[in-house]
Amino acid sequence: MADLGDTISLRKGQGIAPFEVQRAHSAVLKLDGDLKSELGAEVKARLLPRKGQTRIRARIGTGAPPGAHKAVLVSDAGEFPVVVDVPEKKKLRLSPSSIEITGRPGDSVQASFLVKNTGNVALTVPAGGVTGLFASDGLAGAFAAAYGSNAEAPLEVFGEFILGLRRSYLGLMHVKLTAKSKKPLPPGEARDITGEFTLPEPLNPGTPLGTGRRFHATLVMQHLRLVVRVTLSAPKKKGDSR
């Protein structure tokens, strides 16, 4: 095995080697340990000339375990020791990633999801979160309020615009996620979960709540996100039962 003094380091499958190749050609990265168990005995690599050195590109799969892994680069130029540095990737994905629900202020609406760990470390599924609901026509309504204002002073017209935006905000929606298992989700695995969406009572008394009005929100939780679109049914009337 060739001795370069310092071991070649690859991060995210790429690195620079202190030797020179005359042309681009294919090579092989022989793996060991946990990396071998996950990806197999070897993966393909590509060597490219780069100003007296060599750029290395290897196909390290997204499921590779994090850490520093020893490997050997085998090419026409010889065999060289390599350390493959795989950073932690923490990411969950909900399916569906966006959802449309219908309800009226104060209602709790349930929906089913599949959550998958698309990272390379075990992750705990978030218990939920809180996000604001904004009318989908809110910006257009705010402009209409400003354009239709009888005010002449610029600040008063701008004030009408701001008031229009405030009327387009419904309030904070609480989201709760539950699953049968509370154990961390291993990489590559998926789990069924239930989402419960509690629609807020209007924060602003002037917020229109007509049947069919649409609101939207983006819920950002640890390692995942969910887009929610809400269509309002008729507001609850006094004496109504749920």
Burial (CB count <10 Å: 0-12, 13-18, 19+), residue 123: buried
Q: Residue 28: what pLDDT?
A: 94
In tens digits, the chain (242 residues) has pLDDT values of 444 446 799 998 999 988 888 889 899 999 999 999 988 999 999 999 988 889 999 988 877 899 999 999 998 878 989 999 999 999 999 999 999 999 999 999 999 999 999 999 999 999 999 999 999 876 777 777 777 777 778 887 777 777 777 888 899 999 999 999 999 999 999 999 999 999 999 988 888 888 998 999 999 999 999 999 999 987 556 666 54
pTM: 0.77
How far apart are the C-alpha atoms of 93 and 174, rounded to whole Å? 20
Residues near 238 by beta carbon (within 8 Å), at least 6 away in sequence:
none
User: What is the structure's pLDDT at 77?
Assistant: 78
Instruction: Please name the residue ranges forming H helices in the chain.
Output: 33-39, 138-147, 154-167
Contact 19, 77 (CB under 8 A): yes
- 194 within 8 A of 127, measured Cβ to Cβ: no
| Contact status, residue 145 vs residue 164, Cβ threshold 8 Å | yes
Helix count and strand count (H, E) for the chain: 3, 15
